[in-house]
Amino acid sequence: MSRPLSIVADENMPNLQRLFGGCGNITALPGRAISADHLRDCDILLVRSVTSVDAALLAASPVQFVGSATIGTDHIDRDYLASRQIAFAHAPGCNAASVVQYDLAALAVLRPGWRSARIGVLGGGNVGSRVAAQLAALGAAVVVCDPFLDQADCGQPLVGLEALLGCDIVLLHAPLTTGGCHPTHHLIGAAELAALPSGALLLNAGRGGVVDNRALLAWLSSGAALTTALDVWEGEPQIDSELLARVALATPHIAGYSDQGRSNGSAMVAKALYRHLGLAVGRHNEQRPAPLALGEVDDLNAAIIASYDPRRDDRRLRAALASCRGPAERAAAFDRLRRDYPARLEFDHYAVTSRQPALRTALAAVGFTVTEG
């Protein structure tokens, strides 16, 4: 009789036992702690974004399947997996709605008049395209910068980087790449920051390395009139304390951390694993609860913030790091904030009422369940 499959998984993946328990025996570990020693008898490796999966990790392992419950894959050496004929799956689009919620909430907090601003979105992939479409549906003037898209593939006007940097608000949702025709590593550096209009808002909820954090710190330290919101950082989990002190909104890489976004990632990888193993894809749908009532609202921004207020995450991050005594403690605190992230529901889990027809239309476009009241 063959042994049960051995599964090593990031403990931050929701529903591990329910989704993967039928495939083998699960060992759940902190993502950053997963090492080659843990994988010597491992058949299946399940990660999120903090585990670097490459030859150094897998060379001595019998791993046959790697699943990443994330949109991005910059932490995965896919060429190495292919060379070893190790199957791979990830979860594109799993948390796009969560990131849209984060972006809208950050705009509501930092730029209440965002619907009349010109907004540029860097990256037209699963997340960026959804963000852009949502903003356009709410009446904002939106452009997208993505050299890999043709206008026919993009629902919003496509522009180059120079035009993007002329926008009042710039939202970064590009993957992190270091090679190819259009690498994104440090795409936003000193020259690009200087090209932003005075008073602009720069928000990065994509990948930390797309922005040169040292250049950003220097620019903000110079007194530049730039409002910055960062959910992702170079050097995570050891983020720059000086930069933290100068950004208007700081969160610990949780833009996509809604309950639904994280659960979707696990479920998508589980389906891929079941297919890889030749098993029938299980049904794991949970009964959807009735929407939670937020009551009557008379302002779109107020409704968005009532569903999710990113300032709570900002306060948690600053408080957690302020009490730390060194880089190691700061890194551990950053990871704990992600591991112990509180429940967060997306827009479509809330019901609102309004007597204003135009506001009801906007609330419905965001995703709320809306009644006249």
Q: What percent of the chain has pLDDT over 90?
A: 91
Average pLDDT over residues 123-149: 96
pLDDT at 102 over 80: yes
Q: Residue 286: its pLDDT value, please?
A: 57
**311-330 as b/e: b if 16+ CB within 10 A:** eebbebbeebbeeeeeeeeb
Q: Which domain CATH number covers 364?
A: 3.30.1370.170
For 192-199, which contacts have Cβ atoms below 8 Å and span 24 or more sequence positions?
Answer: 192/161, 192/165, 193/219, 193/224, 193/226, 194/219, 195/162, 195/165, 195/166, 196/165, 196/170, 196/226, 197/166, 197/167, 197/168, 198/224, 198/225, 199/168, 199/225, 199/226, 199/227
Average pLDDT over residues 98-106: 98
User: One of 173, 236, 344, 346 is an active-site residue; which one?
Assistant: 236
pLDDT at 79 over 80: yes
Residue 325 domain-assigned (yes or no): yes
Residue 286 domain-assigned (yes or no): no
Average pLDDT over residues 70-93: 94
Q: Phi first, then psi: what are they for 73, rounded to 5°?
A: -130, 15
Q: Residue 2: its pLDDT value, please?
A: 63
Residue 287 domain-assigned (yes or no): no
pLDDT at 285 over 60: no
Q: Phi first, then psi: what are they for 61, rounded to 5°?
A: -110, 160
Residues 365 and 240 both lie in one domain: no
**Active site annotation includes 296:** no
364, two tokens: 């419905």
User: One of 207, 338, 349, 360 is an active-site residue; which one?
Assistant: 207
As a whole number of angstroms, the distance between CA 49 and CA 76 comes to 9
**Active site annotation includes 236:** yes
Digit-coded pLDDT (tens) for 198-249: 999 999 999 999 999 999 999 999 999 999 999 999 999 999 999 999 999 9
Q: Residue 1: its pLDDT value, please?
A: 39
Digit-coded pLDDT (tens) for 322-350: 999 999 999 999 999 999 999 999 999 99
Q: What percent of the chain has pLDDT over 70?
A: 97
Give the structural domain span for 13: 6-90+259-277
pLDDT at 314 over 80: yes
Q: Residue 282: its pLDDT value, please?
A: 62
Residue 1 domain-assigned (yes or no): no
Residue 81 domain-assigned (yes or no): yes
Residue 135 domain-assigned (yes or no): yes
Question: Mean pLDDT over all residues of the chain?
Answer: 94
CB contact at 8 A, 77 and 54: yes
Average pLDDT over residues 149-164: 92
Average pLDDT over residues 286-300: 85
DSSP-derived 3-state class of residue 183: coil
Residues 110 and 220 both lie in one domain: yes
Residues 153 and 234 both lie in one domain: yes
Residues 336 and 273 both lie in one domain: no
Nearest to 125 by CA among 144, 98, 106: 144
331, two tokens: 């890194």
> What SS3 string covers 160-176?
CHHHHCCCCEEEECCCC
**Residue 281 binned pLDDT confidence (cut-offs 50, 70, 90):** confident
**Residue 72 binned pLDDT confidence (cut-offs 50, 70, 90):** confident
pLDDT at 147 over 80: yes
Residues 170 and 206 both lie in one domain: yes
**Active site annotation includes 286:** no
Domain total in the chain? 3
- Nearby residues of 288 by Cβ (< 8 Å), 6 or more positions away: none
User: One of 130, 253, 344, 360 is an active-site residue; which one?
Assistant: 253
Residues 37 and 107 both lie in one domain: no
Q: Which residue has the tokens 């779109």?
A: 300
Average pLDDT over residues 355-362: 95
Q: Which domain CATH number covers 29?
A: 3.40.50.720
Q: Residue 373: its pLDDT value, please?
A: 67
Q: Residue 35: its pLDDT value, please?
A: 97
